[in-house]
């Protein structure tokens, strides 16, 4: 019995740096998704899909409660998927860009564009900066996450499961 406890202790100690690194990456990803207004974008996109009246959305609780969904819940679920697409070092680079003055301004403009459909909310300079940034490896990794329909469906299903259990 003593040997088993010792082996378990060694396993836990060896596992701790891995857990710590993942939590750090997860926390950074949560921060980044909040900076990018991910919950607002998610809710806007979800509302558009729910409003189409498609049968596959009609019975979902998430459609009935989309405006009252917790931003924290959306971001935590999305971040779990985000870290499988974007490395921690790329997450750091994304935070540096989107947390800076250009990134904040462009992010706010993109949310406004999504809500209104007006592209004129972004200046020519904003579009130039965004075009250059879109060519970076870190942004391509984050776009692989954002553009994957299966990830969006998985996030919706995970939220739906939480809502169904309440």
Q: What is the pLDDT of residue 23?
A: 55
What does the pLDDT read at residue 156? 92
Mean pLDDT by 10 residues, the chain (166 residues): 39 38 81 92 87 82 86 96 96 94 92 85 95 96 94 93 90
Q: Is residue 65 part of a domain?
A: yes
Q: Is residue 31 part of a domain?
A: yes
Is residue 132 exposed (0-12), middle (13-18) or buried (19+ Cβ within 10 Å)?
exposed
Range of the domain at 31: 27-165
**Is residue 4 included in any domain, yes or no?**
no
The verdict on residue 41 lying in a domain is yes
Query: Domain for residue 73, yes or no?
Result: yes
Could you give the number of structural domains in the chain?
Answer: 1
């Amino acid at each position: 019995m003593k040997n088993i406890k010792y082996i378990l202790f060694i396993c836990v100690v060896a596992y701790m740096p891995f857990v710590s690194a993942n939590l750090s990456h997860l926390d950074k990803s949560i921060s980044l998704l909040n900076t990018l207004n991910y919950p607002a974008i998610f809710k806007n996109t979800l509302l558009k899909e729910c409003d189409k009246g498609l049968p596959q959305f009609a019975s979902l609780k998430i459609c009935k409660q989309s405006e009252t969904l917790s931003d924290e819940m959306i971001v935590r679920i999305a971040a779990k998927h985000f870290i499988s697409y974007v490395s921690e070092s790329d997450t750091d680079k994304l935070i540096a860009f989107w947390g800076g003055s250009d990134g904040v301004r462009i992010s706010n403009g993109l949310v406004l564009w999504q809500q209104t459909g007006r592209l004129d909310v972004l200046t020519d300079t904003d579009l130039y900066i965004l075009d250059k940034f879109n060519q970076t490896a870190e942004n391509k990794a984050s776009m692989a996450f954002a553009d994957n329909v299966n990830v969006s469906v998985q996030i919706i299903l995970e939220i739906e499961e939480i809502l169904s259990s309440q």
